[in-house]
Amino acid sequence: MPSFDITSEVDMQEIRNAVDQASREVVNRFDFKNTNSSVELGENEITLRSSTEDRLAALRQVLEEKLVKRQVSLKAVSYEKVEEASGGAARQVVKLVAGISSEKAKQINKFIKEQGPKGIQSQTMGEQVRVTAKKRDDLQAVITVCKEHDFEIPLQFGNFRD
C-alpha cells in the first residue's frame, strides 16, 4: 500500500549557521554597540541577551531574518517569556521545536480523518505520523490539504512509498 511519513524536524546545521551570522551582525552593527547583546546556541535552545527589552526585540528580529534567509521555518522556534538578568539586562530563551508531540499527532490524525478522502489511514509512530491509502493520488491530496492547514509546527512529508 502506498504510504508516506509526516515529520517535524529542524536542520541544526542551518540553525547554527543562522546564530553565527546573527552574532556577527550584532558585533558589527552600530545600534548594538555597548549593549552587551549576544546570541548563543545551546542544546535545544537559543539564548538572547541584551541591555534593554527594546534591544532584545531588535536582536530577535535579526535572528529571525537570519533563520528565514537560511530557510528555517519560524514555526520551529518558540519564544519564552522575557526575563530580567543581572544588572538590569534582559534575557530571553528561544526553544527549538522538533518532533511531533502526541498531542499534535492526535490533532494531525483527526484532521486527516476529517479532510482526507475515504480509505485514508493514519497512525502515530513515535514522533512521526504514517499515512497510508490505496491510491497514490489520495496521499497527494492529503499532503496538499496538510500543507494548507496551520498546525503551528513545521511539517515535512517524506518516505513516500508506492
Look at residue 161 in the predicted model and tell me its pLDDT.
85
Residues 152, 16: Cα–Cα separation, whole Å:
22
Residues 66 and 36 in one domain: yes
Residues 69 and 117 in one domain: no
Residues 28 and 85 in one domain: yes
How does pLDDT run across 54-101, given as a tens digit for each residue? 889 999 999 999 999 999 989 889 999 988 877 778 899 999 988 888
Burial of 6 (0-12, 13-18, 19+ CB in 10 A): buried
Look at residue 64 in the predicted model and tell me its pLDDT.
94
Residues 123, 103: Cα–Cα separation, whole Å:
13
Domain that holds residue 23: 12-96
Query: Which residue's C-alpha cell is 519564544?
Result: 79
Residues 88 and 111 in one domain: no
Residues 25 and 52 in one domain: yes
pLDDT (tens, 9 = 90+) of the chain, 162 residues, equals 889 999 998 889 999 999 999 999 999 989 888 888 899 998 889 999 998 888 899 999 999 999 999 999 898 899 999 888 777 788 999 999 888 888 999 999 999 888 877 888 889 988 889 999 888 888 888 889 888 988 888 889 988 888
Last residue of a domain, one of 96, 114, 140: 96
Residues 106 and 92 in one domain: no
pTM: 0.80
- For residue 65, the domain's CATH number is 3.30.70.990
Residues 53, 30: Cα–Cα separation, whole Å:
17
Q: Looking at the 3D structure of the chain, how many domains does it have?
A: 2
Residues 92 and 108 in one domain: no
